[in-house]
Amino acid sequence: MGTPGTARRSGVIWEVFRRERKGQPFAHAGSIEAPDAAYADWYAREQFGRRGESVALWVVAREAVHEIDEFVDELERNYHRVDGYPLKEKLKEARERAGTAAPADR
C-alpha cells in the first residue's frame, strides 16, 4: 500500500497524437497512462476516437519521443530565403571545376 494522498503509478505514460480530418497533420491530443501497448491503444481510442473527432491516432510511449533541437546546415544553404542560396557563385564554381567558360553576355 502506498502512502495516503500519493498516487501509485504502475503504468507507462503514452503520448497520443490525432488527425482530425484526412489531409491534416497530426497534433498532440494528450497523454494517457496504461500498463502496455494494447491497453494504451484501447484507451486512446476511447478517449480520442470514440465520438468521431479523429480519423487516425498515433500512440507512442513517452520515453520513445525525443527532441531534436540542433539543426546543422553543413552546406550553408537556406532554401527558404531568396538570398540564402547563392546560385551565381555556385554556378561559377562548378564551371571552373568543369573547365568551361561562362556564356558571353548579350
Span 31-76, pLDDT tens digits:
999 999 999 999 999 999 888 888 999 999 999 998 888 777 666 6
Return the closest-CA partner of residue 58 out of 18, 2, 86: 18
Domain holding 57, by residue range, is: 12-64
Q: Does residue 72 fall inside a structural domain?
A: no
Which of 52 and 25 is assigned the larger pLDDT?
25
Q: How far apart are CA 31 and CA 37, in angstroms?
A: 13
Q: Does residue 104 fall inside a structural domain?
A: no
Beta bridge partners of 32: 14
Q: How far apart are the first and last CA of the chain?
A: 88
pLDDT for position 11 = 84
Instruction: Extract the C-alpha cell encoding 73.
Output: 546546415
Which DSSP symbol is given to 63?
G
Into how many domains does the chain fold?
1
The CATH number that applies at residue 16 is 3.10.20.520
pTM beyond 0.75: the answer is: no
